[in-house]
Amino acid sequence: MPERRKKRGPMIDFLLIGLIISLTTIILFIILSKDDFKFQKISASKETNSDSIKSKRSTESSAFPGIRIVSDVSNDDRTPFAIHYPETDTKAFNDAVLQYITDSKENYLSSMKENKDKEAMGELNISLETFPYQKHYYSFVLTKTLYTGGANPEVSTKTFFINHETGKLISIETLLNNDENNLSVLATHVRNDLQQNLKLKEDLFKDDVIKSTEPKWSNFHRFAIVDNSLQFYFDEYEIASGAAGPQTVKLPLSLINPLLASEFQIAMEKPAKPITTGDPNKKRIALTFDDGPHPKVTEQILNTLDKYNAKATFFMLGSRVQYYPDIARDVLARGHEIGNHSWNHPVLTKLSLESAGNQYASTVAEIEKAINQKPTVFRPPYGATNDTINAQIPIPVVLWSIDTLDWKFRDAQQLLPHVKNNLHNNAIVLMHDIHQSTADGLDAVLAYLQGQGYEFVTVSEILPYRQK
């Protein structure tokens, strides 16, 4: 009879069942652990994305060769921004611009995140203006308007000036040929422009103006060449009250041309010579009047000139134009030429170059403010000048050939004899429209000269004949 198979004991069955349960538990634990890890990763990812601000960035070509415009815009409900900035093929320039943009955006978002008013809405806007200069240069002006709460947004400016062929960033030091004397003269021009701006009279922070226009390179790093001027930018509240807003000082390139390094200078054109007809030896004379305007004397002289249909040139002091701008306008309206005679009549050769430049520039600004145009000729007080000073003056420097000595004798009867004794063709006659005796003696002078066949012309009209 075959041997019967032995049955398994209950202990073995129990162990097998326990082993199966253990393996199943381990497998389930591993599976569930992986899913949980995946869930944690997904949750963390969602949390990170919720903290970030999505924006749309695009890059477009522009009308300026080699310049692309980058736009970075976000329509986030609480922290919207619109940013526009330039991009070139030069890494160093792009890095400098991007650093400014990144810092501006991060500071804005951080400020809004820290704002206790979680319902407050901010705004960041960075706009771009591009100004080409000559063949190789671009000025970029980035204006930032930032609002993170409070009454009004903050407005500030950042500028970049580059050689677009090399991509090199150009500093104010390079622009002024690394010459501290040039910086000093420039600083004076900027300060005078601000201090003499009547629109800013009540809003300027006087001490801040002085501090911000000290001849330090760091004070003039925000600049751009726009059309025919070198412009400097001052942020809101930097030198004036919020009511005045940000300020821009515009200096004509013709004024500061000698201060610039040669590669940035403009070609100075000589004043156009008047068209001449007829006999080049025709009798001409240029009558000039210094030190005005005067509310009584100048008006009397103008009336006498009208009587003889005579034109003249008035070399005015800026300090007097400031008080009598209406007289300056009347001089121009009657067809006469207006020249610059310094601000307050110092001996220019005894001043520093900076101070001499200040005398010229402040008077230009005051005359332009009064008559809406710049003076066309310059006469140094006492005729005291030199080549260094003349090099700073972008218009003709004019002296005289007949001194009537009206300033010395103050005698109406002596005016004509001094003219007759020194008379010659194409003469430039020196007189002063602040002395009553000059106004009283002028009629006799004009009557005599007209009787001798002289034509009365302005200084600018007579200069071409004197240069022959």
Active-site residue, 290 included: yes
**Residue of 72, 290, 406, 433 marked active site:** 290
- Euclidean distance between CA atoms 2 and 364, whole angstroms: 135
> Closest by alpha carbon to 161, among 129, 139, 128, 130?
139
Contact at 8 Å (CB) between 431 and 262?
A: no
For residue 87, give the nearest of 72, 104, 109 by alpha carbon.
Answer: 72
Q: Which residue has the tokens 């003056």?
A: 393
Closest CA to 287 of 175, 396, 449, 162: 449
Structure tokens of 172? Answer: 């104010």
Query: Among residues 103, 121, 221, 240, which one has the least CA distance to residue 171?
Result: 221
Which listed residue (432, 433, 435, 443) is catalytic?
A: 432
| Number of C-beta neighbours around residue 441 at 10 A | 23
- Contacts with 445 (C-beta within 8 Å, 6 or more apart), sequence order: 415, 416, 419
Residue pair 141/129 in contact by the 8 Å Cβ criterion:
yes
Active-site residue 294, yes or no?
Answer: no
Active site residues: 290, 432
